[in-house]
Amino acid sequence: MSEGESSTPQARAYFQLEDVVFYRIVQRLAASVGLVRANLEKKYDIERFKALGAVTFEGTTDPTEAELWLDVVEKCFNVMSCPEDRKVGLATFLLQKEAEKWWKVISVRRASTDAMLWPEFKKAIKDKYCPSSFRDAKRDEFLRLTQGTMSVVEYEQKFTELSQYALPIIAEEKDRCRKFEQGLRKEIKTPVTSTANWLDFNQLVERATRVERSLADDEQLPRGSKVVVKPRDRGS
């Protein structure tokens, strides 16, 4: 279109219509971006965080309470697919009383708490409320753990609970299995360990449970009619 033609009323109306259409498109895009941003804010806001089960933390003299709080918070983060840069802000919002005062001191000592990411915050919480002496005692308890009068299921639960304090010791599956075997009662351990070395912890626990159940069944049989528990192939 020539310069002369572009100055006609029809041309001007055409360009005005184009401007209106373009403006409306921009408005819709801006509204869409705003909606996405609002949805993201809602997805990661404190209300949703608390609705998932995150509770306030006031500080404690019981390290297990602090660990439980951290576990719950991390579960909520996982469900929310929470970005790393939002985790500390959400977690610190839940701090109250003594724990909040502790955090304020940490905030003053740091040049910028905004830069703190979750692993660092988690370590700070553990250093404060789960001292190394507690973790060392739990590790020693794990190293001394045996089945004793517990059932295999109870023993496995206690074993798993304490194993978090000795992860380097049982980093490999075979080491985890060996430590579990060592703590079993003799009448269960003998048929369980009579085969090759176990490399699957779940299968090991299942085998030990079957042996325990078989021994219990034998106790119900009349004297002289007990069935001998024979070793079975691994993974059976």
Q: What is the pLDDT of residues 114-133, one digit of tens each?
A: 578 899 999 999 999 998 89
111, 146: one domain? no
Does 185 reside within a domain? Answer: yes
Which domain covers residue 111, as residue numbers? Answer: 47-130
Which of 8-22, 28-42, 61-75, 217-231 is the most confident on average? 61-75
Q: Does residue 1 carry a pLDDT above 90?
A: no
139, 86: one domain? no
Does 182 reside within a domain? Answer: yes
Calculate the alpha carbon distances from 163 to 39, 145, 206 in Å: 40, 10, 18
Measured CA to CA, the distance from residue 31 to residue 29 in angstroms comes to 5
Q: Does residue 161 carry a pLDDT above 80?
A: yes
107, 178: one domain? no
Q: Does residue 14 carry a pLDDT above 90?
A: no
124, 73: one domain? yes
84, 54: one domain? yes
138, 214: one domain? yes
Does 169 reside within a domain? Answer: yes
Does 57 reside within a domain? Answer: yes
Q: What domain count does the chain have?
A: 2
Which tokens hold the place of 162? 């304490």
Residues in the chain: 236
Measured CA to CA, the distance from residue 192 to residue 155 in angstroms comes to 15
Does 13 reside within a domain? Answer: no
Domain stops at, among 72, 107, 130? 130
Quick: pLDDT tens for 68-119: 999 999 999 999 888 898 899 999 999 999 999 999 998 887 765 557 889 9
Does 234 reside within a domain? Answer: no
